[in-house]
């Protein structure tokens, strides 16, 4: 799943107050953190995915469930050897955008999978657990051999439209040692055009429940 830009961002606003202008100025001084803890990335992604179709279907539109899901999922993902997380922060140190990548062929241990399932069941409910497994089963079936997977990338809604998502995506593409390329899926058709601009091509299209999902790959 991916949501690199959560929607149209704030344009020049003649009525913007000094606090708003200060926040916008800080977006021009973004800093990278290439080893943030999962707990810093999860709230960013939970906010970024508020309208993303796959997450809306999985979480049932619940903010509480979506936050719990990202917390449980990133906690488990961090157990993978070689797992990568990237974070952009503004000039005040506030998280603006986050991304999560999985190395080729990396899978959680049986204990980690069981812990994730238990946390998801308790924090999100059985429907969310079942829908997540259904999505993963369909989406992960066609990952090219040797490819990294871009699991998530998202921007805080108030920072959308100012280039943070593209900046983070460009950085992780350059920084990830991926001779087998990078794979992703998106259930938002608007994202397909963005990923095309970064060199991704469509591998296949699939249906998961009500979702129309596009699987994409970028060669090395």
**CA dist 144 to 3, 147, 153, 168, 218, Å?**
21, 6, 20, 23, 10
Per-residue pLDDT of 94-130, as tens digits, reads: 999 999 999 999 999 999 999 999 999 999 999 999 9
Residue 15 has pLDDT above 70, yes or no: no
Question: Quick one: pLDDT band at residue 26, thresholds 50, 70, 90?
Answer: low
Task: Please report how many Cα atoms fall inside a 13 Å half-sphere around the Cα of residue 71, on the Cβ side.
Answer: 14
- Count of positions (residues) in the chain: 220
Q: Is 110 exposed, middle or buried (0-12, 13-18, 19+ CB in 10 A)?
A: exposed
Give pLDDT, residue 21. Answer: 38
Instruction: Please give the Cα distance from 82 to 36 (Å, whole number).
Output: 14
């Amino acid at each position: 799943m991916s949501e690199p830009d959560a929607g149209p961002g704030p344009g020049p606003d003649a009525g913007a107050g000094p606090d708003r202008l200060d926040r916008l100025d800080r977006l021009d001084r973004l800093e990278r953190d290439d080893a943030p803890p999962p707990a810093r990335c999860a709230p960013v992604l939970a906010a970024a995915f508020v309208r993303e179709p796959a997450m809306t279907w999985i979480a049932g539109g619940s903010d509480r469930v979506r936050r719990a899901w990202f917390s449980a999922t990133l906690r488990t993902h961090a157990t993978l050897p070689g797992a990568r997380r990237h974070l952009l922060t503004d000039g005040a140190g506030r998280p603006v955008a986050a991304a999560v990548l999985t190395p080729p062929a990396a899978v959680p241990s049986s204990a980690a999978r069981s812990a994730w399932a238990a946390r998801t069941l308790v924090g999100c409910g059985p429907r969310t657990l079942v829908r997540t497994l259904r999505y993963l089963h369909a989406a992960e079936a066609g990952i090219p051999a040797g490819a990294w997977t871009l699991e998530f990338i998202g921007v805080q809604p108030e920072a959308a439209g100012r280039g943070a998502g593209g900046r983070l995506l460009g950085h992780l593409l350059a920084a990830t040692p991926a001779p087998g390329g990078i794979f992703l899926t998106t259930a938002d058709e608007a994202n397909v055009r963005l990923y095309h601009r970064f060199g991704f091509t469509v591998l296949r299209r699939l249906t998961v429940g009500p979702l129309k999902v596009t699987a994409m790959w970028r060669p090395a």
